[in-house]
Amino acid sequence: MESVSDKTIYQAVEILGTCESVDDVIRQRIRALVEEDITVSRLVDFIAEAFGLVALSHLPIGEDATLPTAFSAQDMAGKRRSFPMKDEPIMAEAIKIAQHIFDNGPRHIFVTNARRSAIMDVTNNFLWEHGPSALEGVKVGLSFDLPASLYDPEHP
């Protein structure tokens, strides 16, 4: 797994925060920051979810609702495997950056990144359909289209 510096993650946050959707041009700009194509996917996916999680953490979504502490990736046999968030170094730094931008701005960078979050989208749709009290006791999860071998090379 390619290591990504905090500076590179921040640069990706800024690039991703300038556009509502991630097209080939945006992916190429991020690709210029890293060596591997899979790292582009990691940056795009985990940055969006980090911003979504920070946004959700500031909403009154119910005392018993649980934000994810793990994510899943697919192994070679096609099974989903769960990994702790700490296994993805981009996530930890992206959450710190998201919280800093939430507190200090620029607001448009925060909003644009959070809007791409799948967990934010699912939660928003659920809230519209069922109301905030329906989230009591709900546990939400994150699933990525990434190979499990990135996080457990001995058991791909």
pLDDT of residue 68: 79
Residue-wise pLDDT for 48-106, tens only, equals 999 998 988 887 665 556 677 888 888 888 888 888 888 999 999 999 999 999 999 99
> What pTM does this model have?
0.85
pLDDT of residue 152: 83
DSSP string across the chain: -----HHHHHHHHHHHTT-SS--HHHHHHHHTT-S-HHHHHHHHHHHHHHHHHHHHHTS---TT-B--SEEEEE-TTS-EEEEEGGG-HHHHHHHHHHHHHHHHS-HHHHHHHHHT-HHHHHHHHHHHHH-GGGGTT-B--EEEEEEGGGT-TT--
**HSE (CB half, 13 Å, CA atoms) of 99?**
8
Residue-wise pLDDT for 138-149, tens only, equals 556 667 778 888
Do 151 and 71 form a contact (C-beta atoms < 8 A)? no
Region 31-35 average pLDDT: 96
Give the Å distances, CA to CA, from 10 to 96, 102, 152: 10, 14, 26
Query: How many angstroms separate the CA atoms of 88 and 109, rounded?
Result: 22
In percent, the amount of the chain with pLDDT more than 70 equals: 81
